[in-house]
Structure 1
Amino acid sequence: MGLPEERGRSGSGSRGQEEAGAGGRAQSWSPPPEVSRSAHVPSLQRYRELHRRSVEEPREFWGDIAKEFYWKTPCPGPFLRYNFDVTKGKIFIEWMKGASTNICYNVLDRNVHEKKLGDKVAFYWEGNEPGETTQITYHELLVQVCQFSNVLRKQGIQKGDRVAIYMPMIPELVVAMLACARIGALHSIVFAGFSSESLCERILDSSCSLLITTDAFYRGEKLVNLKELADEALQKCQEKDFPVRCCIVVKHLGRAELGMGDSPSQSPPIKRSCPDVQISWNQGIDLWWHELMQEAGDECEPEWCDAEDPLFILYTSGSTGKPKGVVHTVGGYMLYVATTFKYVFDFHAEDVFWCTADIGWITGHSYVTYGPLANGATSVLFEGIPTYPDVNRLWSIVDKYKVTKFYTAPTAIRLLMKFGDEPVTKHSRASLQVLGTVGEPINPEAWLWYHQVVGAQRCPIVDTFWQTETGGHMLTPLPGATPMKPGSATFPFFGVAPAILNESGEELEGEAEGYLVFKQPWPGIMRTVYGNHERFETTYFKKFPGYYVTGDGCRRDQDGYYWITGRIDDMLNVSVREKIGPIATPDYIQNAPGLPKTRSGKIMRRVLRKIAQNDHDLGDTSTVADPSVISHLFSHRCLTIQ
């Protein structure tokens, strides 16, 4: 595996080892001793021991972790069965098949009844507006989830049914997804920033029979009439001969103007009054959340599911084509997100954790909801954006709740860097112990600012590489064990066996660059693309039989550190530069101020191909963060060619 010897500078706030000239080692920082002393993994040597066992004895390693959870029935047969080689038959992965459990029971009932955490805060909710706050304990969350589970069952939702959720970052979103998990239904959460067309496409692809949404919400100063978008999506579904039978609506903002004569009963106190919000009401389809909850009982027996039963569907952002419905399963996903959360963030019972991601993305699934709750953690749930009402917002929340572990995206870090150090340094941030990044590789300049300014040179940074498809972290430092290099995702997590391949599929040893692949399954790996297993096999296993292909390029340095270099089909292999002939020579080179990217930072290559072909039929572009970039590229394409 090429892991380095344990070395590096010690001491809190040390500047780290400087770069040793051209071709030398990159700057690095060792974990502060005070972090290592209390860490679950206190040294690089201990990490190596655990990692070696996890890849050499995966059944025993994950079997020991599985004992920490509740299983209605134990695994009756092999703990792990799989095939990664398309030449040997169908691709499949089975962890603990035949064992039965329920992830909602494990993240709520187990914590309330077995661990006596009923009075512990599960979430501090911060609304879009400062001052809009609430908190919910584990017991309160369990009661609400049981109530909404009964609501879903009363609406005819059964095990295996698909439920679409189209909501902002409010507590009801967590309640809805856990209620689906409790009764064995699959939730398909659609980011509330997506268009009605995107929502319709996802409802149709997985045949969702019920939709859960809200009346409206604010994102910064922007008012989003989510119910209107949901209505448009349901109308599109109707036109395509797939009528969704029920839409449950959370009254989040203001009073509704209802059609058809009937008015809803008085709702509970709303979080922000917005009388101008008007929504249409479709009798026979639309139902108010609060009215249904008032009628529901607060106890609900969980549906016991096989470990390999599907838990949820989450669609990729569509950066390379039609979004893929990634399917994760109950048992393996539960083990993996719980374990990655515990070790990557070095979670302890007194921590307050804050992941700024939206639950509409996999980061929110794994590290806002399931991972923290599985560990009995207290988390911050944030509806707003980093710059509203001003750039102090994140750091004021950190101080308000004494956040100890903070996890955000490089995009947010670079945005806040533009405003300088003062908005950060005027807040204490004394509670912070570990910082994390997710979503894309972080550039060294942003890493250094995050470490030196936000973390005051005392907080380890866990720069995590993973995918929607992997369920949880794959390459990551551990706070008390791993010497950090700015921009490197460092080493594999437990159970992860990476390799770097060349174009011929040969494994490269030592210092190398090529395709990043994984040689064996980990519990959190996706099991299929919903309704299209052939696409699953073609996308992830066909190019290099015997390996899971990430689609990302990677470099391993002389110390064994892994550096993600970008999507492999965005890269030009440096070794063949001198062989480029007329076929590979570009007709035109166009400079641009930016590229079409999704809100999670992925370049939409299919859009770039269309622009290059001067094809204005781009398909769904609702996931593009800045649509003006596309207009600029089209207009300046013509000028360049002329």
Structure 2
Amino acid sequence: MDAALLSVPLVSPTAALSACPPVPPAEARRLRDLDPQSYWLHVAQELTWDTPPTAALEGTLGDFRYFPGATGNVSVNCLDRHPPERVALRYEREDGLRETWTYGQLTDATARFAAALQDLGVERGDRVAVYLGNVPEAFIAIHACYRIGAIYSVIFAGFSAAAVRDRLEDARPKVVICTDATLRRGRVVPLKATLDEALTDLPPTQVIVARRVNAGHPLRAGELDFQALLDATTRRADPVMLEANEPGFIIYTSGTTSKPKGLVHAGLGFLTGAYANVKWTLNLGGQDTYWCTADVGWLTFPIFALVGGLAHGATHVIYEGSIDTPTPARPYELIAAHGVTKVFTAPTALRMLRRAGDDTLRGHDLSRLQLIGLVGEPLDPETWHWAHDTLGGGNVFINNTYGQTETGTAWAGSMVGLTPTRPGACGHPLPGYRARIVRDDGQEAAPGELGALTLTEPFPCLARTVWGDHDRYRATYLSDHPGAYAASDAALLDHDGQLWVTGRLDDVMNVAGHRIGTMEMEAALITHPAVSEAAVVAMPDDVKGAVPVAFVVPRGDAQGSPDLRRELADAVVRGVGAIARPARVIVTPTVPRTRSGKIMRRVLRDLLITGQAGGDLSSLENPDAIDTVRRLLEDKAGQEQ
């Protein structure tokens, strides 16, 4: 890791943040010093239970239960316990459609839709597939499942019919809930038509359609209209009291293999982790108007909005569509119009805003904005400083965090108002988590030493299994480092305990005996004024073992001239060292990315090495990028450095 990055000064926990911390500093220190089991019991006391927990952990990683015997309900904690007159949702769509929902209205709709599901034969433990975008119906449907003990499986609205089919075949839901369509960059994306294709030759299932784009579109025989069903149901389902370890939902990960993994999270265990996560990293409360920009199909949204966010009673802005449509200024318009105090997004979104230029900021009142939380991929210091100094005018706290679908939380970050952060780092492990960086020989890495990231103790929100395949769960997460969960990410803890995640272990390359993470090379590239985004992957080399290849998306009208490519290679040398000089620099107008904005580095690596994009491509947002990059790779002239 570049020593210059590790020596960046820590940022004070109270700098540029007007909100009071969640607890007094002395109490925060006490909680950080607690053993994980005592800590999680403390957190549980802040939630509403029917039978409160009296014990913490039974078992070990791979076979554990947290709060055994305790019972409660997620929807009660997220909806019923808040003032009914408080605004819960401020919904806005790309075309300007708006809706406002109070907690009382949302609770009523959820309880009636839960009753409608019961009337359709949905019972405790049955699966319900939720194929929706960021719409109020997603909140209603998911909390209706929580209310009656059904296991929901959320399916990302950008998936292809084949990807939707894979997930339906695996979960075998009794009911599928979808919208007729969604909007994306001015286009109508036909979700119902995709679902119809996915259901071909599958066993019959009940389909409920929320007709939001074309209200008059006819339904097939046997299908139900979401709003009509809700209007016809007057009974309110009582919340079912579930044991803390009963499954709450299944969420599928996309990876290098063709078969996605259906990760199972315990409902009340997930609630406990998400509640604590939002408390520390956002310090969210009823006084906040808050916007989580993630898609409901990615676990970021359930953690920081659907469950963790609602559990704190904030007013949530939810946006359906692309946040840079119709203009790159749309995020600023939303923040100003709704008086947003806190935003949770991805580094990619900040880089997109930065690329659009500072002129788009002018004329928008962002004075109420206090905090920007981030997760999803490494954050380069350049973007951190731009967000703090330019976007936030020096008056916002930038809290970069780290977590995974499997962990159910962004378990590393700064405790708002209490602990410092360092630009580019992911904060520190939060209370209740035990992180360990492991060297290749299995020993614990020294501070500042790159290794494999592991977690050594269970916690309530850790995924419990892979749906229908516990052996796969053990093989994937518990076999590499016995007695620990393997994150499959490369990371280090610096001398101040700040966590730096440099990328997937596959992205740590060994160049002539030197271990180099891609993050530091990408950070060096982004310092160049002509660069908007950068991704570095490893290419096998007969002499050095591996060499770095850089893919760079230019800013504005910058062109990929030989001079620019040399400048970019020199920037990596200055920032990391001569050993890291890229073998090639490919300047490209686009790179393959997921719908949530992450660059698909695995696809770039496949194109570089084999010329083909293999593995699971179901989350790919822009398939045309594959052909664009392939053509550039075939044109090697002038790209070698």
Fold in common (TM above 0.5): yes
Q: Secondary structure at the match of 1:469?
A: coil
Query: Which whole-Å deviations, capped at 9, do the CAs of 1:276-327 have from their partners, x for residues lacking one?
Result: xxxxx3212x111122112212411122211100000111133555321111
Q: Secondary structure at the match of 2:428?
A: coil
Query: Partner residue of 2:68?
Result: 97
Query: Partner residue of 1:73?
Result: 51
Please say if residues 144 and 298 of structure 1, whose CA atoms lie closer than 8 Å, have aligned partners that are also in contact: no
CA distance, structure 1, for counterparts of residue 93 and residue 19 of structure 2 = 36
Greater shift in the superposed pair: 627-636 or 426-435? 627-636
Q: How many pairs align?
A: 576
Query: Partner residue of 1:256?
Result: 216
Please say if residues 123 and 379 of structure 1, whose CA atoms lie closer than 8 Å, have aligned partners that are also in contact: yes
Runs of 5+ in structure 1 lacking a partner?
A: 1-19, 85-90, 112-116, 259-280
Greater shift in the superposed pair: 569-578 or 409-418? 569-578
CA distance, structure 1, for counterparts of residue 52 and residue 21 of structure 2 = 31
Say if 1:576 and 1:321 are closer, same or farther in 2 by CA, change over 3 A: farther
Match of 1:597 among 574, 579, 593: 593
Greater shift in the superposed pair: 503-512 or 350-359? 503-512
CA distance, structure 1, for counterparts of residue 498 and residue 13 of structure 2 = 16
Q: Secondary structure at the match of 2:308?
A: helix
Q: Secondary structure at the match of 2:268?
A: helix
1:129 counterpart letter in structure 2: D
The Cα shift of 1:29 comes to 2.2
Match of 1:124 among 83, 90, 97: 90
The Cα shift of 1:612 comes to 3.3
Query: Partner residue of 2:193?
Result: 228
Query: Partner residue of 1:49?
Result: 30
1:49 counterpart letter in structure 2: R
CA distance, structure 1, for counterparts of residue 542 and residue 616 of structure 2 = 35
Query: Partner residue of 2:621?
Result: 625
Say if 1:211 and 1:348 are closer, same or farther in 2 by CA, change over 3 A: closer
CA distance, structure 2, for counterparts of residue 570 and residue 556 of structure 1 = 18
Say if 1:472 and 1:129 are closer, same or farther in 2 by CA, change over 3 A: same
Query: Partner residue of 2:163?
Result: 198
Please say if residues 95 and 331 of structure 1, whose CA atoms lie closer than 8 Å, have aligned partners that are also in contact: no
Please say if residues 13 and 420 of structure 2, whose CA atoms lie closer than 8 Å, have aligned partners that are also in contact: yes
TM-score (norm 1): 0.84
The Cα shift of 1:524 comes to 1.1
The Cα shift of 1:248 comes to 0.4
Match of 2:205 among 245, 266, 277: 245
Match of 1:29 among 11, 21, 25: 11
Say if 1:478 and 1:36 are closer, same or farther in 2 by CA, change over 3 A: farther
**What are the equivalent positions in structure 2 for 1:487-506 lying under 5 Å apart?**
487-506=424-443
Say if 1:587 and 1:363 are closer, same or farther in 2 by CA, change over 3 A: closer
The Cα shift of 1:75 comes to 4.0
**What are the equivalent positions in structure 2 for 1:333-344 lying under 5 Å apart?**
333-344=270-281
Greater shift in the superposed pair: 136-145 or 28-37? 28-37
Identity of aligned residues (%): 33
Query: Which whole-Å deviations, capped at 9, do the CAs of 1:548-589 have from their partners, x for residues lacking one?
Result: 111111122232221110001121146824998669468997
Match of 1:461 among 398, 421, 445: 398
Say if 1:621 and 1:571 are closer, same or farther in 2 by CA, change over 3 A: same
Say if 1:498 and 1:24 are closer, same or farther in 2 by CA, change over 3 A: closer
Q: Secondary structure at the match of 1:390?
A: coil
CA distance, structure 2, for counterparts of residue 306 and residue 627 of structure 1 = 43
Say if 1:206 and 1:474 are closer, same or farther in 2 by CA, change over 3 A: same
Query: Partner residue of 2:609?
Result: 612
The Cα shift of 1:604 comes to 5.6
Please say if residues 41 and 480 of structure 1, whose CA atoms lie closer than 8 Å, have aligned partners that are also in contact: no
Query: Partner residue of 2:419?
Result: 482
Match of 1:155 among 112, 116, 120: 120
1:51 counterpart letter in structure 2: R
Matched, 1:301 2:238: yes
**What are the equivalent positions in structure 2 for 1:87-486 lying under 5 Å apart?**
91-111=62-82, 117-130=83-96, 132-235=97-200, 238=201, 242-258=202-218, 281-284=219-222, 286-319=223-256, 321-486=258-423
Please say if residues 461 and 479 of structure 1, whose CA atoms lie closer than 8 Å, have aligned partners that are also in contact: no
CA RMSD in angstroms, aligned pairs only: 2.7
The Cα shift of 1:631 comes to 2.0
The Cα shift of 1:74 comes to 3.7
Please say if residues 142 and 152 of structure 2, whose CA atoms lie closer than 8 Å, have aligned partners that are also in contact: yes
Say if 1:615 and 1:398 are closer, same or farther in 2 by CA, change over 3 A: closer
Please say if residues 326 and 526 of structure 1, whose CA atoms lie closer than 8 Å, have aligned partners that are also in contact: yes
TM-score (norm 2): 0.84
2:58 counterpart letter in structure 1: R
Greater shift in the superposed pair: 223-232 or 26-35? 26-35
Query: Which whole-Å deviations, capped at 9, do the CAs of 1:416-458 have from their partners, x for residues lacking one?
Result: 1112112224212111111111111111111111111121112
Query: Which whole-Å deviations, capped at 9, do the CAs of 1:16-39 have from their partners, x for residues lacking one?
Result: xxxx99587114321346747721
Please say if residues 74 and 271 of structure 2, whose CA atoms lie closer than 8 Å, have aligned partners that are also in contact: yes
1:483 counterpart letter in structure 2: P
Which has the larger strand fraction? 2
CA distance, structure 1, for counterparts of residue 257 and residue 230 of structure 2 = 41
Q: Secondary structure at the match of 2:166?
A: helix
Q: Secondary structure at the match of 2:462?
A: coil
Greater shift in the superposed pair: 186-195 or 385-394? 385-394
Q: Secondary structure at the match of 1:141?
A: helix
Say if 1:621 and 1:607 are closer, same or farther in 2 by CA, change over 3 A: farther
1:314 counterpart letter in structure 2: I
The Cα shift of 1:486 comes to 1.1
Say if 1:513 and 1:257 are closer, same or farther in 2 by CA, change over 3 A: closer
CA distance, structure 2, for counterparts of residue 466 and residue 69 of structure 1 = 22
Say if 1:355 and 1:587 are closer, same or farther in 2 by CA, change over 3 A: closer
The Cα shift of 1:79 comes to 1.9
2:110 counterpart letter in structure 1: V
CA distance, structure 2, for counterparts of residue 138 and residue 228 of structure 1 = 32
CA distance, structure 2, for counterparts of residue 575 and residue 481 of structure 1 = 42
The Cα shift of 1:383 comes to 1.0
Q: Secondary structure at the match of 2:617?
A: coil
Query: Partner residue of 1:5?
Result: none
Say if 1:357 and 1:535 are closer, same or farther in 2 by CA, change over 3 A: same
